[in-house]
A and B are shown apart, each in its own frame.
Chain A
Amino acid sequence: MARITMREAISQALWEEMERDPSVFIMGEEVGVWGGTYAVTKGFYDHFGPERVRDTPIAEAVIVGAAIGAALTGLRPVAELMTINFAFSAMDHIVNQAAKLHYMFGGQMILPLVIRAVGGGGRQLGATHSQTPDAIFAHFPGLKVVAPGTPADAKGMLKAAIRSQDPVLFIEHATLYQTRGEVPEGDYIVPLGKSTIQREGRHVTIVTYSKMLEISTKAADQLAKEGIEVEIVDLRSLRPLDMGPVLESFKKTNRAVIVEEGWKSYGVGAEVASRIYEEAFDYVDAPIKRVAQAEVPLPYNRTLEQMALPQVDDVIKAVKEVL
């Protein structure tokens, strides 16, 4: 197995799916001649040509809207939003169209559509370009929302998303592109809607995903030196949300910390904690803790920005509080 970066893993998945299926094409801002703002589609334009690697105007509503229309004709568009913050300009098409057309027309419209969007803070881009609004999108039935935290999952889940008959919002994290990991070569598929135990432990369960998997893993490494064994459940998919491994782990450890990068209010942690209380209340030995972003628009200043984002120490502190 090759050890490659998240960027390479995503690029590989796209490349392989485009080679495999001529109905797969890419559209978005700077995906073609430029090679992708984050260089994910570098080399695609020269190899696949302008029909299949389509540079669009800076107009997010029509990027998503036209991808929906093309998907309705049986194609498999991968629409790229330069950042998830720009998804707000396409909000109607994501949550009011893509998420609803199949249901609202009684099952006759099928949209095999992928929307790739980069999110996350930590790069001093200021409040409008640094958000982690994943929970907002996961609120809507009809949309699948996934956010892998490892290169292998990124490859396997992107391939699954492209082959899915349903609209999928595929959320990448800008500061994970350089993260390396073992990635199986060739046709490697990770099913959507399945969470997984990424690290085994017996004292406390951390439930997390995406960038916070990395932060939580670092925290778990440090806690291990003190004899605290953390089990980490990676959600990977926010909708459909697979609580199976979460509950299984919680019933073993009886304690949980949920780590997310977005704001705590109405967030992923709120959802997961409620479900644990609803479905495993008899196993609760301590109040569930949530680690999340400070409830502020993310500031530009590096120190302030890092203060607002969840850090390794915040996770360690929360774990010790539930023990």
Chain B
Amino acid sequence: MEKRDYLDLYHQMVVIRRLEERSAELYQQGKIGGFLHLYIGQEAVSTGLISVRRPEDRIITAYRDHGVAINCGLSAREVMAELLGKVTGCSRGKGGSMHLADVKKNFWGGHAIVGAHLPIAAGLALGDAYQGNKAVTVCMFGDGATNIGYFHEALNLSKVWNLPVLWVCENNQYGMGTAVERASAVSEIRRKADGYGMKSEAVDGMDVMKVREVSARLYDEIRNGSGPQFLEVITYRFRGHSMGDPERYRSSEEVKTWLENDPIGIYHRYLLENKIASEEELQEQIRLAEEEVNDAVTFAEASPEPPAEELFKHIYVEG
């Protein structure tokens, strides 16, 4: 890793954090509609995971997708414009917060039905296997998705057909407001992979370097024909499930403990302690990230609404 790669990871995490904070403000001002699920606290997961992918590797995730979009290389502008429902958004203002995508960057969404994108992920990997592409499909989902039938159908098929999928469970401890122990028969989520004879491991999702290291190894193994593997990433969302969450289900002490474990703070200290970057250099990254997000908000607010004819566009490719 070059110094600029380390700084780039830091930059991405700060952009995500700042973008989410600004989104929350814009939501409260009524400029963002619908649901808004923030990724604050989980930045190290997608940043580490996606930092080691190759351009041909496909990424697909659930509805907590703003950070994943940034890590896949979407600009803060097109993400923010989509949140504001503008035609300059990555989905032309028709998808919203939960449906970001850019297939040219191999980011396949942004899917809002819990678990429903797992079968689709198996299909993306099938497409690569069928065409002889040496690509990995990375499918991210929450702990809540491991209790729905789609999860089991998709994991089973991926193993039966030896598909190149990395299944990544972001265990943020709660499926909406229901704690893992109250919803899942096994609280150590990775054990569910055993039922499909699939190799699994767990990693600390608050440490971007750890996530990056284990991901790089798993991509290699899968690319070389290991078949599907399962990675459980232990993380925590600092904010509620969505903006309308009263958070009656967890204590403020619990939240405080995790906040002290902030993924950006951990990485910040790591870069300083290992003398990879100076405090000034990191402050400069924070400043650049701020600028980028401010610019994105200005761009999104100034962007036009979708024209009326957009309503009937894209129902079908043909007529």
Report A182-197 residues with CB < 8 Å from chain B CB. 193
CB of B319 to closest CB in A, whole Å: 7
- Known A102-B317, A104-B94: A96·B116 in contact at CB below 8 Å: yes
- Give every chain B residue within 8 A of A109 (Cβ-Cβ): 101, 103, 108-109
B316 and A142 within 8 A (CB): yes
Choose from B104, B113, B125 the contact partner of A69 (Cβ within 8 Å).
B125
Q: A105-B101, A165-B318 are in contact. Are A70 and B127 (CB under 8 A)?
A: yes
The total of Cβ contacts below 8 Å across the A-B interface reads: 142
Given A164-B318, A166-B317, is A68 in contact with B130 using a C-beta cutoff of 8 Å?
A: no
Number of interface residues of A (CB under 8 A): 43
In the complex, A109 Cα to B110 Cα: how many Å?
12
| B91 and A57 contact, CB distance less than 8 A | no
Which residues of A in the span 76-122 have a Cβ within 8 Å of any Cβ on B? Answer: 77, 92-93, 96-97, 101-110
Known: A166-B317, A193-B319. A105 touches B123 (CB 8 A): no
The yes or no answer to B99 lying at the interface (CB within 8 A) is yes
Residues of the B chain whose Cβ atoms lie less than 8 Å from the Cβ of A73: 123-124, 127-128, 131
- Complex Cα distance, B91 from A92, in Å, reads 21
Contacts A61-B150, A110-B317 given; does A69 touch B123 at CB 8 Å: yes
Give residues of chain B (120-156) contacting chain A, Cβ–Cβ below 8 Å: 120-128, 130-131, 149-150, 153-154, 156
Report chain A residues within 8 Å CB of B101. 105, 108-109
Docked-complex contact A65 and B150, CB < 8 angstroms: yes
Known: A96-B116, A104-B95. A72 touches B313 (CB 8 A): no
Interface 1/0s, chain B 288-319, versus A by CB < 8 A?
A: 00000000000000000000000001111111
Task: Decide if A287 is an interface residue (CB 8 Å cutoff).
Answer: no
0/1 string, B91-121, CB within 8 A of A gives 1? 1111100010111100011100100101111
B313 lies within 8 A of A65 (CB): no
Task: Tell whether B160 is near chain A: CB-to-CB under 8 Å.
Answer: yes
Q: Which A positions have Cβ atoms within 8 angstroms of B?
A: 25, 51, 54, 56-57, 59, 61-62, 64-75, 77, 92-93, 96-97, 101-110, 141-142, 144, 164-166, 193, 240
21 A-B pairs with CB atoms under 8 Å apart are A62-B119, A62-B150, A62-B153, A65-B120, A66-B122, A66-B126, A69-B119, A69-B120, A69-B121, A72-B108, A75-B127, A77-B123, A93-B120, A97-B120, A104-B99, A105-B103, A106-B314, A108-B101, A108-B103, A142-B315, A193-B319
What are the nearest 3 A-B pairs in CB distance? A69-B123, A65-B119, A73-B127
